[in-house]
Copies of this chain bind each other. A is one copy, B any other.
Amino acid sequence: MDRITKIDIITRQSKFDDLKDALNEIGITGMTVYQVLGCGNQKGKTEVYRGNELTMDLLPKVKLEICVCEVPVQLVVDTAIKVLRTGKIGDGKIFIYPVEDVIKVRTGEQGVKAL
């Protein structure tokens, strides 16, 4: 059995559609998407509301969770970097985690077959 890996990509919301399309092209169809708030190197914005400063430390980000079997991890990472990199702060991060098992509810299939 191949190893299964989870790839979390956290990036700008405005890049989401492009990323999804790029991932589709390399054959990734399954994914789970979260709306999250993030902070990192990118600092929040300060706006003025009724004359008072309003600092938003956390910026809205989108997180894609993609489980793949080992081989295309690098492909996914490369694709993501290609689409997402602007060189500006806030491009985002990719986290890679081990997965023990996957089960497809509809068929009961397990492991890589379930993906």
Given contacts A30-B40, A40-B29, contact A91 B103 (CB under 8 A): no
A2 vs chain B, min Cβ distance (A):
15
For residues 31 through 67 of chain A, which have their beta carbon under 8 Å from a beta carbon of chain B? 31-34, 36-41, 57-58, 61, 63, 67
Measured between alpha carbons, how far is A95 from B97 in the docked complex, in Å? 12
How many monomers of this protein are in the complex?
A: 3
User: Contacts of A72 on B, CB cut-off 8 Å?
Assistant: none
A29 touches B41 (CB 8 A): yes
A83 vs chain B, min Cβ distance (A):
9
Measured between alpha carbons, how far is A106 from B81 in the docked complex, in Å? 8
Not counting A6-B97, A30-B41, A81-B108, a sample of 17 additional A-B residue pairs whose C-beta atoms are within 8 angstroms of each other reads A6-B95, A29-B39, A29-B40, A30-B40, A31-B38, A31-B40, A32-B61, A81-B103, A84-B105, A86-B106, A88-B106, A90-B106, A91-B104, A93-B104, A93-B105, A94-B105, A98-B100
